[in-house]
Amino acid sequence: MIKYLSSVKFTFYNLVLMILLMGTGVGLSQYFKSSFKMMNEINIMEWIEHSWSNKSMIVIWFALLCLSAGLLFLNALFCTFTKQVQVAIKSRAFQKWLFMVLHCLFIIVLACHGLSLIIGSKQSNSQLFPGDHIIFNNEFMVKVSQVVFQDDINILKADYKTQRGLMTRDNINRKHNYADISLIRHKELLETKKVIMLSPLRYGSVQVTLSDFVLKDGKLGVNLNITKNHLNYFFFVVYALMILTFGLYVFLSYRDIK
């Protein structure tokens, strides 16, 4: 059984299954937009509890996707410790050790993905305007003091679909549009940052991300996603190491072939 779970054949079949499930998810998202949106906005266990009674098909699809990811995790785990470690020890070649390390990093990344679904806190789509604040996790206050949008304001007046189409590099310079956000705990200022899209405020395990600019009754505001997860920093470090290791392995392999 372990031999089959560690085989390349099992890897192939499982990857095909994952691709089919992801493709199915793309199709389902067109018919159950609110459910998929909610999946990203709340803790996954809360989402399952909320969706099971009236959207059980989506929950079953998600469970199958998690099962496939879990099998891929087992495949990488068994392949690493029954094959790659032995090959690295016997050959003593740097590339073999590098390939084994790459497998180990991939296992850690998969584990972090899985754990991040069930631990931590999340509060999404919080709409705030200058002077507003929100309490997160009964511990932190997130306060917006200023919102600046220097590009064409008419983009924010368009409907959601049109607005998404206009959000291009030609129309939007993300560095020109920002919100001054402060993170406070027990009246103590922890961090203040000019937050732009793709550049969140981070303090320890807390992350405040600007997802959208909004225009309501002539007032300019922002939508924020706030998360707290102790795995975030560790995950990004390991993920970066995995990418670097993969790049080095490809470079060395290409050099040898050449």
Q: What is the pLDDT of residues 74-101, one digit of tens each?
A: 999 988 888 888 888 888 788 889 989 9
Provide the greatest CA pair distance for the chain: 70
Q: What is the pLDDT of residues 45-60, one digit of tens each?
A: 888 888 888 788 899 9
User: Which strands form 133-136's sheet, in the order they lie side by side?
Assistant: 133-136, 140-149, 177-185, 188-195
Residues 177 and 29: their CA atoms lie apart, in Å, by 30
| Tens-place pLDDT, residues 227-252 | 988 887 888 899 999 999 999 988 88
Rounded to whole angstroms, how far apart are CA atoms 63 and 150? 43
User: Which domain range does residue 112 map to?
Assistant: 2-119+233-257
Residue 30 confidence class, pLDDT cut points 50, 70, 90: confident
Confidence band, pLDDT 50/70/90 cuts, at residue 258: low
Q: For position 178, which CATH number holds?
A: 2.60.98
72 shares its domain with 22: yes
The Cα 34–Cα 67 span in angstroms is: 23
Residues 97 and 154 in one domain: no
Tell me how many domains the chain contains.
2
103 with 144, same domain: the answer is no
- pTM across the whole model: 0.72
